[in-house]
């Protein structure tokens, strides 16, 4: 009898806590009103995503239609997966996926550790004014567009640039740096580290600032060197931030680098430079425009990004116990 009473009470509590219960919604409204200032602060960001990220998703139906401009998106005839069938028969589509993965996975290996190392080095600078000067120098390139950076590279490495002019003065032949396919990808990694490494390092410096200083003081009293404090205190304190940044980088494997490659590439290196975004640009603006086809490519690209994000998050969570989702 007692067990039946306990079961009846638990069922009553479950009914009271159901989302449809009036008290639940009353408490929810009260909590929202209590934190109304916070919700007002995040409201512009939510509206931005709704208007510019979620609302345009309706245009993805183009991938399943034979788009005709005179009919518009919704009145164009529905063709199902026919466009994807054409896509799967295009060898350049698969070549662009391979190029994208090769470039961006190499970015993870080469570029991803650079801001971490830079943040660790800047954190060890003891002169405050000199540290701020260094942070400004490393951060400034992030505010330059890739158009400006490509112009700087052309003036420095182009046929009549500084390097080739110096070689000619020394009696050497000019070298086609920007038209050399074997040098194109290393140039991508070097320029990307120069342009964005200092900006990303700020995130890691902010994480370092949140580490308890008493740990450093205790380690210094115990005789730990700077390298030992960096290895056993700073790096473990950075690991949650590094994990999140790495997972997010994996979620951009199919989209990262279009602005850079678009401005730095040329017909001589297109064989090693046509990532999937360059492929979309070519079939949309440099050939007979087929918006249904380009939308199908973009949809496949987004699905692949989501798959890489979830896969990377799952692997990292199994290894370290940390991930994007609780």
- With H, G, I as helix, E, B as strand and everything else as coil, classify residue 126: coil
With the CA atoms of 224, 230, 235 and 241 taken in that order, what torsion angle do they form, in degrees rounded to the nearest 10? 130
Own/partner pairs, 304-312, CB within 8 angstroms, 24+ separation: 304/97, 304/253, 304/254, 305/251, 305/252, 305/253, 305/254, 305/255, 306/251, 308/250, 308/251, 308/253, 308/254, 309/247, 309/248, 309/250, 309/251, 311/250, 312/246, 312/247, 312/250, 312/251
pLDDT at 43: 92
Specify whether the CB–CB gap between 131 and 122 falls below 8 A. yes
Residue 68 β-bridge partners: 72
In sequence order, the 6+-apart residues with CB closer than 8 A to the CB of 101 are 253, 254
Q: Report which of 37, 13, 39, 10 is spatially closest to residue 24, judged by C-alpha positions.
A: 13
In the chain, list all ranges with CATH 1.10.3720.10. Answer: 72-320
- Rg (alpha carbons) of the chain, rounded to whole number: 27
110, two tokens: 């080469």
How far apart CA 71 and CA 68 sit, in angstroms, is 5
**For 68, which DSSP code?**
B
- No. of H helices and E strands in the chain? 18, 0
292, two tokens: 């249904």
In sequence order, the 6+-apart residues with CB closer than 8 A to the CB of 119 are 201, 202, 204, 205, 208, 238
Q: List the Cα angle 143/146/149 in 5-degree steps.
A: 85
Q: What is the pLDDT of residues 134-147, one digit of tens each?
A: 888 999 999 999 99
pLDDT at 13: 47
pLDDT in tens, the chain (326 residues): 444 454 555 555 455 545 456 778 888 888 889 888 999 999 999 999 999 988 888 888 889 998 888 888 888 899 989 999 988 999 999 999 999 999 999 999 999 999 999 999 998 888 878 888 988 899 999 999 999 999 999 898 888 888 989 988 888 888 888 888 899 999 999 999 999 999 999 999 999 988 888 888 888 888 888 888 888 899 989 998 999 999 989 989 998 889 999 999 888 898 899 999 999 988 888 777 788 898 999 999 999 999 999 999 888 888 877 777 75
Burial of residue 15 (number of CB atoms within 10 Å: 0-12, 13-18, 19+): exposed
**For 172, which DSSP code?**
P
What percent of the chain is predicted at pLDDT more than 90? 41
pLDDT at 131: 86
pLDDT at 11: 55
pLDDT at 73: 82
Specify whether the CB–CB gap between 230 and 120 falls below 8 A. yes
pLDDT at 217: 86
For 72-320, the fitting CATH number among 1.10.3720.10, 2.40.50.140, 3.30.160.60, 1.10.510.10 is 1.10.3720.10
Specify whether the CB–CB gap between 325 and 313 falls below 8 A. yes
Specify whether the CB–CB gap between 63 and 303 falls below 8 A. no
pLDDT at 5: 54
């Amino acid at each position: 009898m007692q067990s039946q009473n306990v079961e009846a009470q638990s069922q009553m509590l479950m009914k009271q806590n159901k989302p449809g219960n009036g008290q639940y919604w009353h408490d929810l409204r009260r909590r929202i009103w209590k934190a109304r200032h916070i919700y007002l602060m995040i409201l512009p960001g939510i509206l931005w995503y709704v208007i510019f990220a979620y609302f345009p998703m309706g245009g993805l139906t183009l991938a399943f239609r034979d788009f005709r401009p005179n009919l518009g998106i919704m009145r164009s005839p529905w063709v199902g997966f026919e466009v994807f069938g054409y896509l799967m028969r295009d060898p350049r589509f698969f070549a662009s996926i391979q190029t994208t993965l090769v470039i961006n996975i190499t970015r993870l290996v080469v570029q991803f550790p650079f801001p971490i190392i830079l943040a660790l080095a800047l954190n060890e600078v003891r002169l405050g004014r000199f540290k701020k000067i260094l942070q400004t120098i490393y951060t400034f390139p992030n505010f330059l567009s890739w158009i400006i950076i490509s112009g700087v590279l052309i003036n420095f490495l182009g046929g009549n640039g500084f390097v080739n002019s110096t070689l000619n003065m020394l009696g050497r032949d000019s070298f086609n740096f920007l038209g050399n396919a074997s040098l194109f990808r290393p140039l991508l990694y070097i320029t990307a580290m120069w342009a964005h490494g200092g900006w990303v390092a700020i995130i890691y410096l902010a994480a370092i600032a949140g580490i308890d200083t008493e740990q450093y003081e205790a380690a210094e009293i115990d005789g730990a060197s700077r390298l030992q404090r960096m290895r056993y205190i700073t790096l473990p304190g950075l690991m949650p931030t590094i994990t999140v940044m790495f997972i997010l980088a994996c979620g951009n494997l199919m989209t990262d680098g279009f602005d850079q490659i678009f401005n730095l590439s040329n017909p001589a290196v297109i064989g090693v430079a046509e990532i999937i975004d360059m492929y979309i640009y070519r079939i949309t603006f440099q050939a007979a425009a087929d918006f249904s086809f380009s939308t199908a490519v973009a949809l496949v690209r987004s699905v692949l990004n989501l798959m890489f994000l979830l896969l990377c998050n799952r692997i990292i969570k199994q290894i370290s116990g940390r991930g994007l989702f609780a």
